[in-house]
Amino acid sequence: MAYVPCPSRYGRYTSREEENYHCCHKLYRGVHIELVTLLTTDSFILALRRFIARRGRPSTIYSDNGTNLVGTSNALRHVNWEKVQELSTIKKIQWKFNPPSSPWWGGFWERLIGSLKRILRRVIGNACLQAEELSTVLCEAESLINSRSMTYISEDVDDLKVLSPSMFLNEIEEFGVADFEEIALRG
């Protein structure tokens, strides 16, 4: 899980970048994005509860430990990680933190965060969005990231359908599903 700062506007007032974040949850190399307004333990726990309500309870959560996050490390000092771990113990979730001096451990999810940042830069640019607009853009970015191919894309019409994270997360059939009988016959 990671927090990515993003400016937004509530009413006539523009917020500072540190005040609005989206919490990115990665699964099946897909993402689940939650918009949170504060980097507090309570906000994080509420985002985790929303994640569990929509996607189900994960057995294990891997995350940075807060000391090696660029740009948000100061804000993450306010998160009470002991309280978060206590909640995850109650919910039977094993929490695994990366070692503080091993930034390569989270490389696969940092790559997905980079994809999200590129999408947001292209779509939003320097604009300052209303909270509803930002929430919509984040949902669309999540959908775009989750619809990318996880497998080789063949030009052969007889090949199997291409897998994407959204096929596992949302059971979206418009991208097609793997034909397991055909896989067994070819295997």
Kindly report, residue by residue over 139-172, the tens digit of the pLDDT. 889 888 888 887 777 788 777 777 777 777 776 6
> What is the reported pTM?
0.64
Q: Which of the four pLDDT bands, split at 50, 70 and 90, describes residue 18?
A: very low
DSSP for the chain reads -EEEE--EEETTEEPPGGG-EEEEEEETTEEEEEEES--SHHHHHHHHHHHHHHH---SEEEE--SSS-TTTHHHHTTS-HHHHHHHHHHTT-EEEEPPTT-GGGGHHHHHHHHHHHHHHHHHHTT--EEHHHHHHHHHHHHHHHHTS-SS---S-TTSPPPP-HHHHHT---TT----HHHHHHH-
Percent of the chain with pLDDT over 70: 64
- Average pLDDT over the chain reads 71
pLDDT of residue 118: 93
